[in-house]
Chain A
Amino acid sequence: MAKKRIFLSLIRRKSNWCMCLLMAILATLIFTGALIWQASSQSIKELEKTYGSSFKLASYADRSNPDLWEYKVFDENYSATIYIGPRVSLEMLERISGEIDGIANYEWENKEDLMNNHILLVQMGFQLVPGFSASTAKIEEENYKQWKKGAISDQDWQTYYERYYKDSKYDIYDTVAYGLNNSQYSTHFRNGTFRLVSGRHISPSDYHVAMVTPTFAKLNGLKIGDTIPLMVSPLNASTSFASGVLGTVDAVIIGMFEPTYEQPVNEYTSERDILNNWILIDLKTCSEMEKISGWSGETSLATIYVDDPSMTGDIMEQVKRLDWLDKHYYGVEKDDSSYHEAAAPIRTLRLAMGAGIAILAASGAALMYLILKHSIGRRERETGILMALGITGKSIKRQLLTENLILGVIAFLFAVGIANAAAPMLGDSLLHTLSPKEEMREYTKEEIDAAIAREDYEAYTKMTSPQTKGIEAPDTLSVHTSPFSILVTGFGMAILICLCVNEAMEKTLRLEPSRILSMIA
């Protein structure tokens, strides 16, 4: 009979369904919050795994030590004081990863500035996506003005014109070769700037291999397996354009990669800033090319990736303790500021969701208690009658508990369905609101000219460079319902219902049934 009572009450009492709806709304809100919270936690974890799991090995370029610096003349136009002290060599990195367990990868790349630590090379024989070397433009313009003013002789201008200017700015074909140890685990592939489209990744054992973009391959009629000559030009920091070939290294194309986003390229974007012009090469070839270029084949900065983010500190300590690594020249440093920056909106989202859930759960629990109390209060008479009829308080309590738990389960299933549909959309739009993306845009010639005119080189550089650098936080959360979250929320709700019914019933049961009956009669 108890079962029948439950059944009848559930199907006949409309107020039950009002309560079910209320519970459903409440549970939906809480569950949605929980899902988003969980997804942001996951996102943060993944970000940490991708970006928080690295540290830097750098040589201190100590300005106060004159032994580390040398004045060097590159050509008639350019001279500079350069660092000649110890650097991080490829051999050092190999040795470190051999001696210490848990190192996943190392790169010579520098996250802040993609342009750092690359080899500039001339590729006279290759077509590139046209761009415009900013400094060249400036020099050309300056030279042209000087010549017009008569400050440059006709002959000098002629030479210059013949060499750089005649065939238009698009003939300045230089791009970068970017050395990678294990391209799959390099920043650009990890943060989704690049993706592999065909062939394979560069691995640590590779030598004389390269990856190019399909755009580059198409322009030059190349395919996987073809050999490309990488012509090394002397690094000329003032003009950055080719002034001769120092040597050539051949590399076999093993894979194609492409940028995952539409890069805004304007006519001021230099060829080497156009990602489709990039060539990825293995680190050994890179080192070899750097040696050809006259550099030491070493870098002042390397990034070391570890397998397990939680082990980063430990492994850093182990690197510090290596006796062959001279503490005077080298240091390790965990730099996760950019990771923190990228994770900030997600963290905020997680915090908001956590707070939201807490508030909702607390107010929801209070609300549910009040509703249940009210609903059970309205059933005092029924309770009194049933008790008078000889049905025990215990059995009535069990009945109400079962009824409300059934309503709870229905409400919960409903909530799971709605939350599953709503959470991804809600989470993404919240995330977007929290992290207003700086939109990639192509600046107009007028804007760039204006920046040049007011000598705002910072703005100018920004306008002409690739606009995605460093870490990008994902702009969508991968929300999925885990059995765990269902279990936790479901259990929480069940416990809440039990407590509320118990508490509300306790009062009713303490009253003598005749009192209840006379109260309502």
Chain B
Amino acid sequence: MIQTENLTFYYNESRKILEDVNITFEKGNLYAILGASGCGKSTMLSLLGGLLLPKSGKILYEGENISEYGLDRHRQDHVAFIFQGYNLIEYMTVEENVELTAKQPPQTALQKVGLEKELWKQNVLKLSGGQQQRVAIARALASDKPVLLADEPTGNLDEDSAQAILDILRKSAHEEGRCVIMVTHSLALAAGADEICRYADAKFQHGDYGLSLFTKPENPWETISVIQEEKAGEINA
């Protein structure tokens, strides 16, 4: 559904963040992206979501280059973001934030993410980090786009809430046929994904993560179908 072709990106030419990446994300799947902090996961999501232009290579949505389709339209029609920093509009209430791009009643989405009803009319800044995050998720869900790009959507949630969100995202992929791409640091969460993508930059190859999957610098992205429990343990250590 959404795929990259020889995608290369850098902020400074001296430090490539993505080099010749070829990867495909299909609809109906929940993907987890793992990788060290600062390695370029958010950048990857931005590229997929049409917030950044590739330096070379292309990003295809249903076979069509999104640059040709128009990044504006791509964002408008295809992708919904859940940002790492929530990115809510400060002067709006919970409901109003969700309503911004909602295709369905904001209340449904807010209910889905389990946000208490009495918070709905509150200004978003009065909410805790975890609550804000749920607003951001509700906003993405309500916008009803085929691709959901989630950047650490559970970073500020406790274990149970995180699992609940994971369920929502999974359902959204499986039942509503979306393509959900989730960046996470939590292997436990990643374990719940249909597929895990690992990213390792050649220059960051310290081996700290101890995962055999972290290798080929010329092709830092790999797709695997399962993650082994003991390796997950290594990462957490």
Contact = CB atoms under 8 A, between A and B. Distances in A.
Interface string B122-151: 000000000000000001000101000000
B49 interface: yes
Given A389-B143, A390-B77, A514-B51, A12 B99 contact: no
Contacts of A521: 84-85
A430 interface: no
Contacts of A512: 46, 51-53
A392 B91 contact: no
Contacts of B46: 512, 514
A451 B1 CA distance: 109
Please classify how large the interface on chain A is, using the bins under 10, 10 to 19, 20 to 34, 35 or more: 20 to 34
Interface stretch (A76-84, A242-250, A379-387): A379-387
A388 interface: yes
Contacts of B83: 385, 388, 517
B201 interface: no
A203 interface: no
A36 B91 CA distance: 42
Interface string A90-114: 0000000000000000000000000
A388 B85 CA distance: 13
A321 interface: no
B152 interface: no
B56 interface: no
Contacts of A514: 43, 46, 51-52
B51 A391 contact: no
B75 A4 contact: no
A380 B85 CA distance: 15
Interface string A304-326: 00000000000000000000000
Nearest to B79: A390
A237 interface: no
A87 B143 CA distance: 97
B235 interface: no
Interface residues of B, number: 29
> Chain A at the B interface: mostly helix, strand, loop or mixed?
helix
A388 B51 contact: yes
B100 interface: yes
Given A4-B96, A512-B51, A390 B89 contact: no
B100 A391 contact: yes
Given A512-B51, A512-B53, A513-B51, A389 B75 contact: yes
Contacts of A151: none
Contacts of B92: 8, 12
B101 interface: yes
21 contacts: A381-B87, A382-B90, A384-B87, A385-B87, A385-B89, A386-B89, A387-B51, A387-B75, A388-B49, A388-B51, A389-B80, A389-B81, A389-B139, A512-B52, A514-B43, A514-B51, A517-B51, A517-B85, A517-B87, A521-B84, A521-B85
Interface of B: 43, 46, 49, 51-53, 72, 75-77, 79-81, 83-85, 87-92, 96, 99-101, 139, 143, 145
Closest 9 A-B residue pairs measured CB to CB?
Answer: A514-B51, A390-B76, A12-B91, A514-B46, A390-B75, A385-B87, A521-B85, A389-B101, A392-B72
Given A512-B51, A517-B51, 7 more contacts: A1-B99, A385-B83, A390-B75, A390-B101, A391-B101, A514-B46, A521-B85
